Amino acid sequence: DTGVSQDPRHKITKRGQNVTFRCDPISEHNRLYWYRQTLGQGPEFLTYFQNEAQLEKSRLLSDRFSAERPKGSFSTLEIQRTEQGDSAMYLCASSPDSEKLFFGSGTQLSVL
């Protein structure tokens, strides 16, 4: 399978714990995006990378969120001191340009 891979698929955590998600993009794509989606809403942009450089962060991305893309390959999204409002589907997408995004299946986070 050469699509975008996300791990884990599901994560249940207690409020206050830290969580980390991983995304492996399509290998020839140099752009990688993180979006968040809650029930009944469309995906909301969080941040994106071109190769290893983080080019833009949404104001939705509080200080508790950090993303990395070392060596321009896979990416990780970490949420520190999780809150119940962080419960959502976290979607990763990669792209050969800035328009056509190819999404993974997402990581469903539940904060209890």
Partner 1 sequence: QKEVEQDPGPLSVPEGAIVSLNCTYSNSAFQYFMWYRQYSRKGPELLMYTYSSGNKEDGRFTAQVDKSSKYISLFIRDSQPSDSATYLCAMNPGNTPLVFGKGTRLSVIA
Residue 112 CB, shortest distance to partner 1, in Å, is 19
* Residue ranges that bind partner 1, judged by CB under 8 A: 4, 33, 35, 40-45, 48, 56, 58, 91, 93, 98-106, 108
Residue 55 CB, shortest distance to partner 1, in Å, is 10
Residue 90 CB, shortest distance to partner 1, in Å, is 10
Determine the Cα angle at 100 with ends 86 and 23, to 5°.
45
Nearer to partner 1, 46 or 79 (CB): 46
**Integer Cα distance of 24 and 103 in angstroms:** 11
**Integer Cα distance of 60 and 52 in angstroms:** 21
